[in-house]
Structure 1
């Protein structure tokens, strides 16, 4: 079984797959009578058709090492996962290799980080590493199937990098 080390999530490391949603060192603008910093436009939503929708996902926490045998992608729209608590989650991604996932990579978020997968990015299922596993999800709402799944013949194991 192949082992993959889950690296800490950084904007640079995740850039080929999507956006990291997190606070910037300084807000772009101070609003609400000086009591709120706005960190503006942190992810690019991209839909072929349909519209953006906000859903809540309530996922069971998992732990590392984690056995992964399924990746999916959404060819018609980006998909953002924003944790509703200061907990971490596992992010598994892979480049496209002629319509199938290529070499998988894994990242572990820090508390307060969310992600937005680019349209068509192969990724693992929502995998919180702590409870609660409650997430706001922003993705495409529209007609037609927007899900492709790929099941690996042999699962791979994701373990912590340290």
Structure 2
């Protein structure tokens, strides 16, 4: 079995826009607060929790390495999901457009230190994939009573390279 290869691309606001939001302090702050000592980069993600509430959880994931075998995608049909690293390391972000209820051609992005992401509601994405210890992330997502996870196993899998 030969694996299809996906080459990583830089994580930018424009390249990631079809899938979600890039969370970063780029450009000038929207306003200065705290006596001019803090720049506020305002309202950087389209959070969507449907009929439930938003919550903040902490995830600690084992680091992976490139090349990486991408064999599982998931999505959250009831709400968005934001990942904010709690260390100064980039991480691997894999996504795919929806093609009639199944993932289409995956894409891979490498974040840089200081970037987080917010997946829009229903967006197919890979599992949390830090590339360095400690693999600690704050996750802002939907907290509710109804199921909010669909998984799709890729057969054959893809290999993600830098």
User: Taking structure 1 as the reference length, what is the TM-score of the superposition?
Assistant: 0.97
Deviation at 1:24, TM superposition (A): 2.4
Partner residue, 1:44: 46
Unaligned 5+ runs, structure 1: none
**Aligned runs of 1:4-153 on 2, under 5 Å?**
4-153=6-155
> In angstroms, what is the RMSD of aligned CA positions?
0.6
> 2:98 and 2:119 mapped to 1: Cα distance?
13
Residue from 148, 156, 159 that aligns with 2:158:
156
> 2:47 and 2:127 mapped to 1: Cα distance?
19
Q: Find runs of 4+ consecutive structure 1 residues off by over 3 angstroms.
A: none
Deviation at 1:130, TM superposition (A): 1.1
Partner SS for 1:72:
strand
> 1:141 and 1:47 mapped to 2: Cα distance?
8
Unaligned 5+ runs, structure 2: none
> 1:109 and 1:125 mapped to 2: Cα distance?
15
> 1:52 and 1:129 mapped to 2: Cα distance?
27
